Chains A and B, each alone.
Chain A
């Protein structure tokens, strides 16, 4: 029972163009969402997050959009750079009700940015 789904295992874009990574969730209790970036042989690093009280959060080239009614979020990277090539994980947390801030991860999307 996958509560966080990233349906695209991979995505390839040209340098300078927009990268859009998608994530769907099924658990209505999730109220905080995060994106992590992972390079080979390294641990995931936090990229950007969004609370369920917002529908957009922006940090430089990275923007996360949240559509609560559709239980869908997306990460936009503009412009994409070759150094953005990595696996991107979507994660969700139910930060209330004694959840202890546990994260549920999607399977990841491998982004390749071609020069």
Chain B
């Protein structure tokens, strides 16, 4: 049981490039979330999904897109990367009450 996995661990992007952050969970959870954490700050919700085919915006969705075609996968897409998107990104899935987090992707946009 791997829990929540994320790839890649690290990535450097140039301004204007695009990329997809991958997230997979093997716990059969319906609810999944994407957060970003900036230095000295808490986690801020980007997007979330309550099940396959259903997604909704969180607190800071601008510049991102998501899809949820299966229960297991919840990829986050960055279009036209900007320096303000330099952050650590965490994916999570929800169990009975708590959320389980992946190890994170550290993204730098230069």
Residue of B nearest to A45 (CB): B101
- Point out the residues of chain A lying under 8 angstroms from B43, CB to CB: 44, 89, 103, 105
Residue of A nearest to B98 (CB): A46
User: Does A34 contact B90, Cβ atoms closer than 8 Å?
Assistant: no
User: Does B98 contact A43, Cβ atoms closer than 8 Å?
Assistant: no
How many A residues touch B, CB cutoff 8 Å? 22
User: Does B102 contact A101, Cβ atoms closer than 8 Å?
Assistant: no
Would you list which residues of chain B between 4 and 58 have a CB under 8 Å from chain A?
Answer: 4, 31, 33, 35, 40-45, 48, 50, 56, 58
Neighbour of A43 across the interface among B42, B48, B104, CB < 8 A: B104
* Dominant secondary structure of chain A at its interface with chain B: loop
Q: What 1/0 mask marks residues of chain A from 92 to 115 whose CB sits below 8 Å from any chain B CB?
A: 000100001111011110000000
Would you list which residues of chain B between 39 and 98 have a CB under 8 Å from chain A?
Answer: 40-45, 48, 50, 56, 58, 90, 92, 94, 97-98
- Point out the residues of chain B lying under 8 angstroms from A108, CB to CB: 42
With A89-B42, A100-B31, A103-B45: A44-B97 Cβ-Cβ less than 8 Å: no
Interface residues of B (CB under 8 A from A): 4, 31, 33, 35, 40-45, 48, 50, 56, 58, 90, 92, 94, 97-104
In the complex, 14 of the A-B residue pairs with CB atoms within 8 angstroms, ordered by the A residue number, are A42-B103, A42-B104, A43-B90, A46-B98, A46-B99, A49-B97, A89-B42, A100-B48, A103-B33, A103-B43, A103-B45, A105-B35, A105-B44, A106-B42
Interface residues of A (CB under 8 A from B): 4, 9, 32, 34, 36, 41-46, 49, 89, 95, 100-103, 105-108
